[in-house]
Amino acid sequence: MQNDYCPIGVMEEVPFASEEDYPYKRFLQYLEAAVGEVDITQADVIVSVGRGIGGPDNLSIAEEMASLIGGVVACSRPVADKNWLPKERQVGTSGKTVKPKLYVALGISGAFQHLAGMKNATTIMAVNKDAKAPIFNVAHYGIVDDLFKVVPGIVGKLRERKEA
């Protein structure tokens, strides 16, 4: 329609080129996210830490536990945001989705973003001081206590078993 009446002006038909004529976008390549030193998405066992770990100086207890059970250390978003662990170790909707056989959550309250990234683990064990922490809604096994009381005992038993 050309020069038809329109209440706000004159309407005119204008030809438009198709996508084939002007390919504004095209697929170049698929880039996988950098994996870093550890690929938590492929791990069968993950020991994950949250703010309850207190600081980077306390990560060694989680690292030792992970080492003794053949796992890797991961974290919640607050831990990655504080640079206590690298971003590629973060579990959750803004991190990575994992599906290990065993997921151990140490000092993780269980924000829904974190739960979304780990809820498909076969077995979930959580240690947290707060009995009402959301992590206990998905955990198969839960310990309500200070992780600094519980984890050294677990690590000690794991060491004993390994030495036997």
The one-digit pLDDT tens for each residue of the chain (164 residues) are: 455 555 666 667 777 666 566 555 666 665 555 556 789 999 999 999 999 999 999 999 999 999 999 999 999 999 999 999 999 999 998 889 999 999 999 999 999 999 999 989 999 999 999 999 999 999 999 999 999 999 999 999 999 988 88
* Rounded Cα gap, residues 154 and 152, in angstroms: 5
Q: Which helix (H) or strand (E) holds 128?
A: strand 123-128
Q: Measured in whole angstroms, how far is the alpha carbon of residue 110 from the centre of its chain? A: 11
pLDDT at 8: 66
Q: Which CATH superfamily is domain 40-163 in?
A: TPP-binding domain (3.40.50.1220)
pLDDT of residue 94: 85
Buried b / exposed e along 34-55 (16+ C-beta atoms within 10 A): eeeebebbebebbbbbbbbbee
> 131 vs 123, 135, 143, 149, CA distance in Å?
19, 9, 9, 16
Q: Write down the pTM of the prediction.
A: 0.78
